[in-house]
Amino acid sequence: MGGGIGGIDVTVRVRRDRLDLFARLMAPYLYELPEDDGENVWVTARLSLGLVGEARQLLQFSDRVEVLSPPEVRDEVARAAASVTNLYQRVSGRSSQNPSSEGLL
């Protein structure tokens, strides 16, 4: 694999409008960020994660970051996103039945 410090090498693409924030927040994991040509909408970056589950933190970037590889990390992020979606669909269903949110806490 690549130049990670050990662990799992992960390739992601980041929307240019979130690149600076991504680089700051993911700095401990980031080991390769290509030269910014200023033209493409997406920029490829490489991270080194200790565990597959650490990739869940990429969800903070919503649809502005996509895991390209490896497949097991992409699958983990997809599972986590589906879990969050299911949670909010359930909560939304309860909220429409009972406008009070007291029972949610």
Closest CA to 90 of 77, 75, 74, 103: 103
With beta carbons less than 8 A apart as the criterion, state whether 49 and 29 touch.
Answer: yes
What gap in Å lies between CA 51 and CA 47, rounded to an integer? 12
pLDDT at 2: 52
With beta carbons less than 8 A apart as the criterion, state whether 33 and 45 touch.
Answer: yes
Q: What is the mean pLDDT of residues 51-55?
A: 95
Looking at every residue in the chain, the average pLDDT score rounds to 86
**Percent residues over pLDDT 70 in the chain:** 78
Closest CA to 11 of 25, 30, 27: 30
pLDDT at 67: 98
Winning range, highest mean pLDDT, from 35-39, 63-67, 90-94: 63-67
The separation between CA 80 and the C-alpha centre of its own chain, rounded to angstroms, equals: 10
pTM of the model: 0.78
